[in-house]
Amino acid sequence: MAGPIVETKGLKKYFKAQKTGILESIFRQKVPMVKAVDDVNIQIANGEVLAIVGESGSGKTTLGRLLATLESPTSGDVYFMGEQVTKKNKGSVRREIQMVFQNPYESLDPRATVKSIVTEPLLRMHLSRDDRDTRFENVLKSVGLEAGFAARHPRDLSGGQRQRVAVARAIISSPKLIVLDEPTSALDASVQSQVLNLLVDLRNQLDFSYLYITHNIATARYISDRVATMYAGEVVEIGPTESVMGNPKHPYTQALLASVPTLDSKEVTPPTGEVPSLVNLPDGCRYNPRCPYVMDLCRTTNPTLRGAEGRDVACWLYK
C-alpha cells in the first residue's frame, strides 16, 4: 500500500498523577499530570519493524497501547492506513492490530485451553468451525508447537511456550500491525533468542509490520529496520537501525549503547542518574540533568527533532 500502515501526529497521553477526590472538587485543585507520551510523531510502513527503545518510565508501553487503540489519546491523532482513528471506527481498526504483552502468563486466560485462547480473535470473523480449525493447526505449526498443545492450559506450559501461544493468538487473524511490548524480557536468556528468531521468521514469511518495544537496545538491532529512542515521553532520536546504532547522535542513545556488552569489551557503562518524574519534568531539555554535554541552552529550551545525517535528533549539540 502507499503511505504508512500507522502514523501519529502530535500524539499526547497524560494521566492524573493522583486522585484528590473531595478536595479536588471543593478547592478546585489543579491535579498534577503524568506526561507519559508528549507530542510524538512516528510512522510505520507496510512490512516495517520500528523499535522503540528506552528505560522503564520513558513512555514506550503507553505509546504502544495508544497505537493498539487500548488507550485514547489526550490530544493528537493516530492514523491507520491513512484514516484517522476515532471512536466510530476504533472497533474495526482494533481487529487489524494485535498486541503481544511482556508477561505471557498474565496475558493468557489460565482457565482456557490453548486452542480457545488462540482462536478467540476468529470468533468475530464469522468463519466456519472447519476454517477455524484449519487456521489454528496452521498457526500452531508456524510458531513451533505441536497439535497436542491444543488441549493444554497455560499452567502446563513453559514461559517460552506461553509466549509462542501469545504470538499465535496475535497472528491468527492476519493483522496489519503487531505491537510487541517487551516480548522476551520475562523469558530466560536461552529462550529469548528462540522467540526473537521466531518473530523474525514470521515477519519474513508473512510480511507483518511490527512496533517492537524494548529496553534492550541490542535486540532492537537484530529485529528492526528503524529505531526510535524515547526519553521522558518524547522521541529524542529516530532513524535507520544501522545508522542510529552505528553512529548515535543523541547523548541518551549513546548512553544506552554504552550499557550493552560487546565482543570487543565486556565493560558496560549504564546511563548515570535516573529517569525524571513525568509529573515534575526538568526545564529545558528533559535529559539535561543526566547529560555529560549539557550547556546553558539545554537548561532553558527543549530541542525538537530535526534532521542530522539521515535521521532526526532532538539535541542542541546538532544544530
In sequence order, which residues have a C-beta less than 8 Å from that of residue 86 and are 6 or more positions away? none
Averaged over 107-135, what is the pLDDT?
Answer: 94
What is the pairing mode between strands 83-84 and 75-80? Answer: antiparallel
- CA dist., res. 29 & res. 22, Å (int): 10
What is the band of 29 on the pLDDT scale with cuts at 50, 70, 90? low
Lowest mean pLDDT among 39-48, 171-180, 305-314: 305-314
What is the band of 190 on the pLDDT scale with cuts at 50, 70, 90? confident
Answer whether residue 248 shows pLDDT above 90: yes
Averaged over 236-255, what is the pLDDT?
Answer: 95
List the grid coordinates of 150: 491444543
Give the number of other Cβ atoms within 10 Å of residue 283's Cβ: 12
pLDDT at 262: 67
| Domain extents in the chain | 6-96+176-190+204-283
Answer whether residue 23 shows pLDDT above 60: no
List the grid coordinates of 2: 502507499
Residue 238 β-bridge partners: 228, 312
Classify residue 108 as left (phi > 0), alpha (psi -120 to 50) or beta: beta
pLDDT at 27: 56
For the beta sheet containing 234-240, the strands, ordered from the edge strand earlier in sequence to the opposite edge, are 97-100, 177-181, 209-214, 49-53, 226-231, 234-240, 311-313, 306-308
List the grid coordinates of 240: 535507520
- CA dist., res. 268 & res. 270, Å (int): 6
Averaged over 144-151, what is the pLDDT?
Answer: 96
What is the band of 3 on the pLDDT scale with cuts at 50, 70, 90? confident
Answer whether residue 22 shows pLDDT above 70: no
Collapse the DSSP code of 167 into the 3-class scheme (helix H, G, I; strand E, B; otherwise coil) and give the result.
helix
Q: pTM score > 0.85 for this model?
A: yes
Answer whether residue 144 shows pLDDT above 80: yes
C-alpha 83 chain-centroid distance: 21
What is the band of 269 on the pLDDT scale with cuts at 50, 70, 90? confident
Lowest mean pLDDT among 10-14, 187-191, 249-253: 187-191
Name which CATH class applies to 6-96+176-190+204-283: alpha beta
Residue 39 main-chain phi, psi, to 5 deg? 65, 60
* Structure confidence by residue, pLDDT tens digits, 35-92: 999 999 999 999 999 999 999 999 999 999 999 999 999 999 999 999 999 999 999 9
The chain-wide mean pLDDT, for the chain, equals 91
pLDDT at 275: 87
What is the band of 266 on the pLDDT scale with cuts at 50, 70, 90? low
CA distances (Å), 127 to each of 98, 149, 180, 197, 298, in order?
19, 22, 26, 31, 57
Grid-cell match 565486556, residue found: 266
Answer whether residue 1 shows pLDDT above 60: no
- CA dist., res. 9 & res. 109, Å (int): 35
Report the candidate in 264, 265, 244 with the shortest Cα–Cα distance to residue 256.
244
Answer whether residue 223 shows pLDDT above 90: yes
pLDDT at 176: 95
Please tell me what DSSP assigns to residue 238.
E
pLDDT at 17: 82
| Residue 89 near residue 83 (C-beta atoms within 8 A) | yes
Instruction: Give the HSE-up count for residue 281: Cα atoms under 13 Å, Cβ half-sphere.
Output: 22
In sequence order, which residues have a C-beta less than 8 Å from that of residue 221 and are 6 or more positions away? 227, 241, 245
pLDDT at 231: 97
